[in-house]
Structure formats: C-alpha cells, structure tokens
Amino acid sequence: MTMNVLFAAAEASPFARTGGLGEVVGSLPRALNKIGADARVIMPKYGTIAAEFKQNMEHVGHFNVPVAWRRQYCGVEKLEREGMTYYFLDNEYYFKREGIYGYYDEAERFSFFCRGVVEALKILDFSPRIIHCHDWHAALIPLFWREFGFRRPGDEQVKTVFTIHNLKYQGVFTHWILHNILGLGDEYFTPDRLEYYGQVNVLKAGVVFADSLTTVSRTYAEEIKHPLFGEGLDGLIRAHEHKLRGILNGLDYNDYDPEKDYNIYVNFNGDNLSFKRENKAKLQEELGLPAGKDIPLLGIVSRLTVQKGLDLLMHIFDELLDEGVQLVVLGSGEEKYERFFAEKAPFYPRKLRVFLKFDEVLARKIYAAADLFLMPSLFEPCGLSQMIALRYGALPVVRETGGLKDTVRPYDEKTGEGNGFTFANYNAHELLFTVKRALLLYRDRETWNRLVGNAMRSDHSWEKSAREYYSLYREIAPGPVSEEGAAV
C-alpha cells in the first residue's frame, strides 16, 4: 500500500531555494513518488514565490495558529504541479518579505510555521504516516506534534523524521522565546532538551523528539558524533545515535543532464567527449581566455565561505596558477574571499576569470567545460557540486570529508578505477600535490578519457536514496496503512 509522507521545510525548488536544502526538498519527494509513495511538500508562502505559481494555488482553508499567547492567521493554499502536490502556509506578516531568511524575528516566523504545519494537518485532504522535517526551521514540528498534535485516533501512529542538512546552522535564540514564542514550559529548558548554554537551541528539538534522525551522507553521520564536526552538539548526537542514519543525497538527473541541458554550448555524453572539449573551447572564447585543448581548465562553483576550503586555495594560489592552468571562479559569499579573488584577477589576465555572483547558466557552462573541479572543503555534509561535476565529466578534486568521501573515489593507477582525486588532511600542499597528480594524468589522453567516462557513469541519482528513505519509513512506521496511505 502507498505510504503517505509530508515533507516540511523552509524551502523547496522551484518555489524558493537558496542552496542544497531547496534542491533536496524539490527532488526527493518526486523520487519517492516514482517508487510508490505519496509524498507531498508543505512550506511557507513567501512573497518571493513567482506569480505564475501563486495564481494557480487554491485556498484550502484557514485557522489561527497559537504563537504562545497570541493567535495569528494562517491560510493554507494548495498547488498541483507536474504530478506533485504542494501546500503553502500563508501569513503576509511573517512571509511576504523580500527574502527568505535574515530577519530579526526568525524564531517567531519559523515557530509559527512549525505550529502551523501541526494545525494544518487537522484540515488537509491528506493524512501522512510520516512527517519528514528538514533543518532547524522545521525542527520544532516533532516536539509540537507530540505536545499539541495528538488529537484524533491514529495520530499517535504518525511518525516524524528529522534530517540535518548542515549542523552548523542550529537556530539558537534567547531563553525568552521558550514561553513567549514557543509557548512551552520550563520542563523543556534542560540540557537534554532545548537548553543550550543558557539559550534555546531549536535544532535540538528535532534531534531529541523525532522518531528517526538522518543526515545527508554516511560519513557525515559519523563525523557529527565527534567534537570536530559536532558543532557543540556531538554529545547530544551520540545520545541519540541509535536512531541516526546517514542517507546520501541524490542529484536530479532530469535537470542535470549534459545530453539535454539547453544551458551549455554543445550537448554530450560519455561516449562523445569531443563535444565536451567543444564546450571548453567555447567557454574559453566567451571569457576571453586563450583557447587550447591542452590547457587544463579548472572550475570552482561555490558559496565563498570558510566551509568550502578556500583558505587552502588562497595559500597555494600562485603556485597553482604557475602550473599552466586556467581557473574560472563563480560564486559569492564572505567579503574576505570575494576580495581575494577580485584582487588576483588583474594579475592573471590569461589564466583567471572571477565572477562574484550566482549565475545558473554560467555554472552549467563551467561544469560542462572544466577538466577539473576544485572542492577542497573543510567539511561537507553532502555536497551537490561534486555530483554535478561528475555528471558533466569535470573530475572533482576534493578533501575526504562528509559526502565528498562518499561520492568521489580516488583514481587507482593499478586498476584504472576511480572517478576523481582526493586528499585526506586539511593541508594546502596536499591540495596542490593532488592537483599536480591530476595534471600529470591529464597529459595521458587515453587514461584521462577513461577516467572521465568513469565519472560520467557514476550513479548518484535519487532512486537509490529514495529507496533507503522508503525503507526507513517502513521501519519506524511498520503497522498497516489505509488504502489512502494513512495510519489505521
């Protein structure tokens, strides 16, 4: 029988997306539906959602959401799109703003959202067996469901899953919100619940109260149990490791397909790599770089943050460009890194191009053209960029951490196996030596083409991950379901 699953998240592509979270919530429910689930999504109705989507939404109902002692209006809108069902919680005070995040009242906005999801379940035309919550913005749902949601027969059989996409972002706020926003008593202000160094940590609610806890790669699930990657919560994670599982994110292969991608210059696959080289030549021409198939082209498409290992790159930058390579950098972020790349660009007019912005079309062109893709992250819960690079035949150079370790297999000279290049320690010259090893191999065209073929045949589509999630749902909710997929 069908398993009903409701995804609750702050963002989902194509309606609102700032990074990997929106990609996952936009793709994973589709993959689940292909294998027999009825997965739907509920999210805030932001003012930034495109008019073409809003005009096709239908009003389902409305109610008041308790925000401690206040009662705030909440409308529920429904949209059917490409075989998927989406629900949107509507409150213009909280969500009709210029952006998704970055406001002074984040605690109140997303507490409203979490409580709104619980209240909406009382009127929706859909009864989930699983509520799958993502990141701190939805972390209060498992707690609110236990505290305020058990109202009808069968509610106690509805199980919650909480997925940590990046433990660094936890939603930590002053103790004041416990009573005045969340509407909870002091029994929740303890170290094994929400208290965190005298403040309230919202993400802890998901870790503690969800029936199952997941994160976005197997390696990251192990890493966050230890202080180096645990972001101050490693002790809590270890206390709940019995319900922790790492399930690798996937990539939407319909969206990222070099054989059909209209953003790139020439479509190609692993059997016609001459067309990939044509993408390289055309990007070199467009960017005003010297053309030449024998000039290794390196690409970076990234948020410019400390997480992405850019300090390593800065330390060996001049040595790297002395290796006869070209480098194209696309991304924006911390001022320190933006300034570094902007200041370097004039010194390397024939080798370096820097674009301090996000541009989806240019990103696809870089993936399609690049020979090597640099991603030396300090930590990486999963990472999508290296999967896209593999899909487009740009061999990743990555540090062995999180999802990078789980997706990039280092080239083995004896067997010819592997799909990229890796290094273990967070060390600038290990990065440099790894790139140099790749450049040596680049001169052996036959071996290089075989390795690119390995990369493009790597399967990181959503199907395998969706089946792992479906299996997890069945484990935590093993009882019978109705014909409609709800608990009975």
CATH code assigned at 285: 3.40.50.2000
Q: Is the pLDDT of residue 488 over 60?
A: no
Q: For residue 441, how many other CB atoms are within 10 A of its CB? A: 16
Total structural domains within the chain: 2
Q: Is residue 110 part of a domain?
A: yes
**91 and 141 fall within a common domain:** yes
> Nearest CA to 323 among 346, 344, 298?
298
**193 and 303 fall within a common domain:** no
**38 and 141 fall within a common domain:** yes
CA gap 190, 180 in Å, rounded: 17
Give this prediction's pTM.
0.93
Q: How far is CA 419 from the centre of its chain?
A: 22
Q: Is the pLDDT of residue 152 over 90?
A: no
**118 and 31 fall within a common domain:** yes
Coil vs helix vs strand at 240:
coil
Per-residue pLDDT at 20: 86
- pLDDT tens, residue by residue, 436-477: 999 999 999 999 999 999 999 999 999 999 999 999 999 999
Is 483 or 33 the better-scoring residue by pLDDT?
33
Per-residue pLDDT at 151: 66
Per-residue pLDDT at 326: 98
Q: Is the pLDDT of residue 190 over 90?
A: yes
- pLDDT tens, residue by residue, 53-74: 999 999 999 999 999 889 999 9
For the record, the structure tokens of 41 come out as 């999504």
Per-residue pLDDT at 274: 86
Name the pairing type of β-strands 199-201 and 172-173: antiparallel
Min mean pLDDT across 6-10, 293-297, 298-302 is at 293-297
For the record, the structure tokens of 75 come out as 């409308």
For residue 442, what is the enclosing H or E element? helix 428-442
Q: Is residue 360 part of a domain?
A: yes
- The residues with which 88 forms a beta bridge, in sequence order, are 43, 77
Q: Is residue 196 part of a domain?
A: yes
**90 and 228 fall within a common domain:** yes
**235 and 338 fall within a common domain:** no
**221 and 315 fall within a common domain:** no
Sign for the CA dihedral angle at 212, 88, 31, 170 comes to negative
CA gap 183, 486 in Å, rounded: 29
Q: Given pLDDT bands bounded at 50, 70 and 90, which one contains residue 271?
A: confident
Per-residue pLDDT at 293: 80
Amino acid identity, residue 393?
A: G
Q: For residue 332, how many other CB atoms are within 10 A of its CB? A: 15
Q: Is the pLDDT of residue 485 over 70?
A: no
Q: Is the pLDDT of residue 137 over 90?
A: yes
In 159-316, which residue ranges form alpha helices assigned H by DSSP? 177-180, 203-209, 218-223, 227-230, 234-239, 273-287, 310-315
Per-residue pLDDT at 390: 98
Query: For helices 360-369 and 273-287, what crossing angle results, to 10°?
Result: 130
Which range marks the domain in which residue 287 is found?
273-458
Per-residue pLDDT at 273: 86
Q: Is the pLDDT of residue 205 over 70?
A: yes
Per-residue pLDDT at 207: 98
**149 and 290 fall within a common domain:** no
CA gap 482, 488 in Å, rounded: 6
Question: What share of the chain has pLDDT > 90, as a percent?
Answer: 90
Q: Is residue 488 part of a domain?
A: no
Q: Is residue 184 part of a domain?
A: yes
- pLDDT tens, residue by residue, 394-430: 999 999 999 999 999 999 989 989 999 999 999 999 9
**237 and 279 fall within a common domain:** no
Q: Is the pLDDT of residue 487 over 70?
A: no
**112 and 30 fall within a common domain:** yes
Per-residue pLDDT at 472: 97
CA gap 285, 279 in Å, rounded: 10
**73 and 194 fall within a common domain:** yes
Q: Is residue 337 part of a domain?
A: yes
CA gap 196, 207 in Å, rounded: 13
- The residues with which 461 forms a beta bridge, in sequence order, are 251
Q: Is residue 267 part of a domain?
A: no
**29 and 58 fall within a common domain:** yes
Q: Given pLDDT bands bounded at 50, 70 and 90, which one contains residue 251?
A: very high
- pLDDT tens, residue by residue, 347-371: 999 999 999 999 999 999 999 999 9
Q: Is residue 426 part of a domain?
A: yes
Q: Is the pLDDT of residue 305 over 80?
A: yes
Q: How many helices (H) and strands (E) does the chain have?
A: 20, 18
